[in-house]
């Protein structure tokens, strides 16, 4: 009578273990691909947010409100203690009219989380309506874009790009880019936004103001 051959417990455990290794090897590329797609989607979302922020800045500038008595557009070049790129943009704009507000001074500035006030860091946008009608400004010769941006409170503005580390502005004079400017609407605007150590540059022309 012949003995029936079978598998020992050690052989069975070996086969199970080998099957697990093969399965893990086969699934590894799939897991890696899913993670890569998730990272790409997150990165794409960040890039879209930066682009939306840049478009918002250009939108405010293109919807300028013209004035013959003061400068309607101003950029201030700054290097702060906590961020190197600490420029400010001030534009007298009619963009808030579409939000049922009067033409207003719009300011863009980086806020960092420091000191006793733990503000959420990033790029902020302030809308300051009716500047010329405020009692403290009625007898002043300067215009709204002469505002001192140092005293702007984060709680009065709106965070439009969280964790933005810096912002630079420059205008095209017709011959070169300038990083300090005050006057009428420039020919073109360049916006450089730094996020996660990466600089994102956007530049475009602005509407031409015809001299009357």
Average pLDDT, consecutive stretches of 10 residues, N- to C-terminus, the chain (212 residues): 56 59 53 50 71 95 87 89 84 86 91 71 91 52 84 92 95 90 94 94 83 46
Residue 143 maps to a domain: yes
- Sheet-wide strand order for 73-76: 158-162, 122-129, 104-111, 88-93, 73-76, 181-183
Which strands sit side by side in the sheet containing 166-172, from one edge to the other?
Answer: 177-178, 166-172, 188-195, 198-205
Q: Tell me, what's the pLDDT at 132?
A: 55
Terminal CA-CA length for the chain: 117
**Within a domain: 5:** no
172 occurs within a structural domain: yes
| In the chain, alpha helices (H) | 9-62
**pTM attached to this predicted model:** 0.73
What is the reported pLDDT for 162? 94
Instruction: Classify residue 2: in a domain, yes or no.
Output: no
Question: Is 38 part of a structural domain of the chain?
Answer: no
**Assigned domain for 9 exists:** no
pLDDT the model gives residue 66: 84
Residue 32 pLDDT: 42
For 191, the domain range is 48-205
- Residue 139 placed within a domain: yes
For residue 16, the model assigns a pLDDT of 58
Number of separate domains in the chain: 1
The answer as to whether 30 is a domain residue is no
CA 50, chain centre distance (Å): 5
> Which two tokens mark 135?
């009692």
pLDDT of residue 158: 95
- Residue 84: the pLDDT is 78
Position 119 scores a pLDDT of 79
């Amino acid at each position: 009578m012949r003995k029936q051959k079978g598998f020992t417990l050690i052989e069975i455990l070996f086969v199970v273990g080998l099957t697990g290794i093969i399965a893990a090897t086969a699934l590894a590329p799939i897991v890696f691909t899913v993670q890569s797609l998730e990272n790409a989607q997150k990165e794409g979302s960040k890039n879209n947010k930066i682009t939306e922020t840049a478009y918002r800045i250009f939108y405010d500038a293109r919807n300028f409100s013209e004035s013959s008595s003061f400068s309607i557009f101003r950029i201030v070049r700054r290097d702060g203690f906590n961020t190197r790129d600490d420029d400010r943009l001030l534009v007298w704009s009619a963009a808030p009219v579409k939000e049922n507000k009067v033409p207003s001074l719009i300011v863009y500035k980086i806020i960092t989380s420091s000191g006793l006030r733990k503000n959420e860091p990033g790029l902020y946008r302030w809308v300051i309506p009716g500047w010329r009608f405020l009692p403290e400004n009625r007898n002043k010769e300067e215009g709204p874009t002469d505002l001192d941006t140092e005293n702007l409170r984060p709680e009065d503005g709106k965070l439009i790009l969280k964790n933005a580390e810096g912002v630079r502005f420059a205008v095209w004079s017709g011959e070169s880019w300038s990083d300090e400017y005050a006057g009428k609407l420039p020919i073109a605007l360049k916006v450089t936004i730094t996020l996660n150590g990466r600089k994102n540059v956007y530049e475009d022309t602005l509407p031409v103001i015809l001299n009357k």
